[in-house]
A and B are shown apart, each in its own frame.
Chain A
C-alpha cells in the first residue's frame, strides 16, 4: 500500500497528541482515540490527498489541545474527579482484612506509639504552646528585681513602691498590678469546717490588666482598695464549685481568717491564675481580694510583691524591657543609692512554665524520635508486605494495571493504616492523659486544663495518615520502579525481589533512632536513680505533717498563738504512738521559709569580703522537738531545750555555715545576728545537716534554725512508730477540741512530700523509658524480619555452601554477621544523635553527665544484645536446611 508511510506518520503524530490528555484517560481511551483519528485520516487521504490529511492533523491538534486541557481540568469520569474514595477505601480495607495479623500488628503498634506521642504532645501543647486564657497574653509580663549587687538573688519580689512606680510609668506600660499569694482560713459560715485557701491579694485593676472579666457578678472597682476599703472577694470557678456552685453566692459573705468578705464575682471556668511562691515554682490561686495597705507607703527596700504588667498591644519585648529598666533605674537611685539593682520583665507564659520547659522539650524530642521510629517500622512492614505480594503486583501489571494505580493503592493503604492507628492512638491518649495528669506534679502549670481536645485529636490523626503515606513511599517507589520483566521473573522465586537493600537501610535507621532514645532513657533513669538515692537530710519514714495556721484574727497577740501551738503539741504528744512532735514554718522540700542575711561577728572564717561574710540564709523557725520529729541529723552540740523556750535566743546552724565560719573548730557557743533590724544576737547551740528545702539532690542556701515564738503560720511534724496516716483523725479531733476555728491543710506524710517532689522526674523517667522500650521492640521486630527474609532468600545459596562442605553453624554466623553489620552501622549513625539528645537533656539530669560513659556503654551493649538475639532466632532456621532435598526441589 502506497499510502502506508503517511498513515504510519499520522499514527505517530496522533500518539504524540495523546500526551496532552491525562494518563488515566490515555490508558482507557487512547487506542480508540488514535484509531478514530486514523479512520478520519484515511478518509481524508482517500478524498483529498495530502492537503486534506494536513487539515486532519491540524484539526486533531486543536481538538487534543482543547479536550486534553478540558479532561485535565474536569475529568470526565467521576472517580478521577473525586478520587473514588469509596472504592479505594473498600479495596484497601478488603486487602487489609485478608491479612488480619499484619493489619492488627501494624495498627496495634501505631496505636501504642501514637498514643504515647499524643499524651506527651497534649501536655506540651497545653503548657508551652496554647496561649494563656487572658486577652493578648503575649503582652503580659511578670516584673522581677535582680538583687545581684547586694544579695545572691537574681529573681526577687518587688517592693510595693516599685509597683506604684510601674503603674505611673505610662508609655509602653499600659497597666501594672501588684500581687501577693497568701493562704487564709476560709469558713463559709461560723459553723462550717474551716479550710485553707490560696488567694491573690492584688490591685483592683487586676482583671482589666489580664483582660478577663468575671462570669458572674463584677470585678473590683477602682476605689475598692487600701486602708478602710470594702472587704470584697472574687472567686475562681474552681473554688465556687467547691463551695457548692450556687449562682446566688454573689452578694453573700464569706469569712477569711474570721473576717467578713462579700463575694462580688465569680471568674469564668477557663480562667486560671498562678503566682510564684517565694522562691518556688508558681502555684495556683483560688480567689482574689484587694490590698488593705497603701502600696505607696510600704517599705521600699523590702520586696514581697509580684508584679504583672500589660504592655501596649504589640510592643516588642525589647521595648518593654527598656521601659521596665528605665523604671528600675529611677527606684534604684531613689531607694538603693544607685547600687545597680535592676528591674526586668519576663513574658508571663514563659515565666510560668520555665521550671517544666526543659523536661517537656526532652519528652517532646523523645516523642518525635518515637514517631520517626514508628514510621521507619511501618515502612519496613509495608515493604515486606509488598514484597510478599509481588506476584500479585506482577500479575496485575501484566494485565494492564498501570503502575500509577498500584502506587496510589499502596500509598492509600499506608495512609489508611496510619489514619486508623491515629484514631485508635487518640482514643488511648484521651484515657492515658487523664491518668498522667493524676500522676503529674501538683504544681504543673495549667494542670487542670490538660486533656486531648479536638484540635490535638485531628492533628494526631493527620500525623498518622501522613506517617502512613510517608512509610508507604518506599514500598510504592520500589514497586513502580521495578521493570515488569524483573517483577515477573523475581516473583517466580519467592522473596527474590530487590527490596532487601531498602529494608536493610530501614533497619539501620531504626537502630540509630533507638540508640538515641535508649541513651536518653538510660541517662534519665540513672539521674532518677541518683535522686532516689539522694539523702535529703532527714528521715522521711513515719512522719505526718500538716499546716495549722493561727492568724491574728483568731489569736490577736503573738503569745496567744504561741500558747495555742504549745497546747496542740502537748495534746498530740499524748496520742499513743506519737514519739516526737514539733512545729516549723518551713517543712523540707516545700521551698518555704524566710530569707535573711546574717553575720558572725568575730568568727575565724570571716574573709573581710562583706558579700561572702554576710550570706543570705533560709531562717527556719522551729519549736523544740521539730529537729527530732523530722529526723534531722545532729552533727554536734544540742538541739532546742523545751524548758528554755522564750528565755534565751538560741539557734542551730547547718554544716555549711559551720564549715565556712568555723573551719576545723566548733561553732557551739559562738554568736550571729541578722543584718537587718536591730535584733540581739543568737547563740549557736548545735550544728545539723541541712534538711533540704528545695531540691532533693542538692543543698540549697545555708540554713539557720531559730525559735518559733510568736510565729503564726506553722506546720506540725509528728513522728510516730505507726503508719502516720492512721493518726490523722485523732490529730484532727485533738486540734478541734483546742480551737474549732483553725483549719488543717496540706496533710501529707514526709514520704508523700518526697514523692511529690520527685513527681516530675518520675513521670519523665517512666515516659522516656516507655518510649525507649518501644523503639527497642520496633528495632528487634525489624531486624527479625530482615534476617528471616534473608535466610529464606539465601536458602538455595546456603544449600550449595553446605554441599560444598561448609557446616550449619558457619551459615548461622554468616547470617548473624549480616545483622551485626547493620546494627554496627546504625549505632555509628546514632552517635551524633546522642550528642544532640545529650544537649537537650543537660537541663534535667542530676548527678549524671549527658555523655556518661558507663550509661552509654551499657545502653550500647544492651542494644547489641537485644538486636543480636533478634537476629539469632531467625538465623537458627539455617540449621534446618536440608541441602539434598532443597536442591532437588529446585
Chain B
C-alpha cells in the first residue's frame, strides 16, 4: 500500500495537460482530438497543442496512468488510425490525489485570505 502511495506521489503535481487528459478519460475512452475538444469545452484559455498532448499521452502510457485501447471496430472510416485511450486504476487514483492536493491548496489559500474575495 505504502509503495503504491509513493508510486502515485511521484507523478504529483500533474502538469495542466496531464490533469486535463485524466479528467477527460475519467468520463470514458477518448481519442486525441476528442480530448482537445473536451479541454476547449472546459473553457480553458490555452488549449494544449497536438504535439504537446501526444507527448503527454506517450509519457502517461509509459507511467501507467492511461493505456491505449485496442482499436474499436470502425465507427467511421477516419477512425481506423486513431489511438483511443482509457484511464487506468492508477491514473484514477493519481487524478484523485491531485484533486485532494489542489483542495488542500485551495483551503490554504482561503485561510491565507488569498481567495477570500472570489469565494464570497
Contacts and interface: CB of A to CB of B under 8 A. Distances in A.
A36 B53 CA distance: 11
Interface in B20-34: 31-33
A29 interface: yes
Interface string A749-773: 0000000000000000000000000
Interface in A16-61: 21, 25, 28-29, 31-40, 59-60
Given A35-B81, A35-B82, A79-B62, A63 B52 contact: yes
Nearest to A59: B49
Contacts of B82: 32, 35-36
A866 interface: no
A40 B33 contact: yes
A32 B62 contact: no
Interface string A570-587: 000000000000000000
Interface residues of A, number: 27
Given A66-B51, A67-B51, A76 B62 contact: yes
B56, B62, B78 — most chain A CB neighbours (10 Å):
B62
B31, B51, B63, B81 — most chain A CB neighbours (10 Å):
B51
A40 B55 contact: no
B33 A36 contact: yes
Given A31-B81, A36-B32, A67-B49, A77 B62 contact: yes
Contacts of A332: none
B49 A32 contact: no
Chain A interface helix/strand/loop/mixed: helix
Interface string B32-45: 11001000000000
A614 B59 CA distance: 91
A79 B55 CA distance: 14
A790 interface: no
A563 B105 CA distance: 107
B58 interface: yes
B32 A32 contact: yes
B49 A77 contact: no
A71 interface: yes
Interface string B45-68: 000011111111111011100000
Contacts of B33: 35-36, 39-40
Contact of A32 (B52, B56, B63, B81): B81
B14 to A, nearest CB: 14
A64 interface: yes
Interface in A739-798: none
A36 B58 contact: no
B13 to A, nearest CB: 18
A51 B21 CA distance: 30
B83 interface: yes
A598 B82 CA distance: 104
Interface string A630-647: 000000000000000000
Nearest to B83: A32
B32, B50, B78 — most chain A CB neighbours (10 Å):
B50
Contacts of B58: 25, 28-29, 76-77
A21 B58 CA distance: 13
Contacts of B50: 33, 36-37, 40, 60, 63
Nearest to B53: A36
Given A39-B33, A59-B49, A67-B49, A33 B62 contact: no
A312 to B, nearest CB: 60
A723 B98 CA distance: 91
B54 A36 contact: yes
A29 B83 CA distance: 8
A669 interface: no
A776 B59 CA distance: 53
A63 B58 CA distance: 16
Nearest to A29: B54
Contact of B51 (A31, A33, A39, A78): A33
A850 interface: no
B51 A63 contact: yes
B31, B56, B83 — most chain A CB neighbours (10 Å):
B83
Interface residues of B, number: 22
B36 A36 contact: yes
Interface string A67-86: 11011000011110000000
Contacts of A34: 81
Contacts of A67: 49, 51-52, 54-55
Nearest to B49: A63
Nearest to A74: B55
Contacts of A37: 50
B59 A76 contact: yes
A63 B52 CA distance: 8
A6 to B, nearest CB: 15
Nearest to A17: B51
Nearest to B36: A36
A169 to B, nearest CB: 71
Contacts of A38: 78
Contacts of B53: 36
Contacts of B61: 77
Contacts of A31: 81, 83
A20 B4 CA distance: 37
A68 B83 CA distance: 19
Nearest to A39: B33
Contacts of B51: 21, 33, 63-64, 66-68, 70-71
B32, B55, B56, B57 — most chain A CB neighbours (10 Å):
B55
A474 B78 CA distance: 42
B38 to A, nearest CB: 13
A29 B68 CA distance: 11
Nearest to A21: B51
A109 to B, nearest CB: 39
A460 B49 CA distance: 50
Contacts of B63: 78
A33 B32 CA distance: 8
A412 B31 CA distance: 36
Contacts of B57: 29
A35 B54 contact: no
A36 B33 CA distance: 5
A29 B60 CA distance: 13
A7 to B, nearest CB: 10
A77 B54 contact: no
Contacts of A64: 51
Contacts of B78: 35, 38-39
Interface in A454-487: none
A31 B83 CA distance: 8
A77 B50 CA distance: 17
Interface in A799-823: none
Contacts of B52: 63, 66-67
A38 B51 CA distance: 13
B72 to A, nearest CB: 14
A71 B55 CA distance: 7
Contacts of A35: 31-33, 78, 81-82
A29 B63 CA distance: 16
Given A33-B51, A35-B78, A77 B59 contact: yes
A59 to B, nearest CB: 7
Interface of A: 21, 25, 28-29, 31-40, 59-60, 63-64, 66-68, 70-71, 76-79
23 contacts: A25-B55, A29-B54, A31-B81, A32-B31, A33-B54, A34-B81, A35-B78, A35-B81, A35-B82, A36-B32, A36-B33, A36-B53, A36-B82, A38-B78, A59-B49, A63-B52, A64-B51, A66-B51, A67-B51, A70-B51, A77-B61, A77-B62, A79-B62
Sorted nearest first, the 4 A-B pairs with minimum C-beta distance are A67-B51, A39-B33, A76-B59, A32-B83
Interface of B: 31-33, 36, 49-59, 61-63, 78, 81-83
Given A34-B81, A35-B78, A68-B51, 11 more contacts: A32-B54, A36-B32, A36-B33, A59-B49, A63-B50, A70-B55, A76-B55, A77-B61, A77-B62, A78-B63, A79-B62
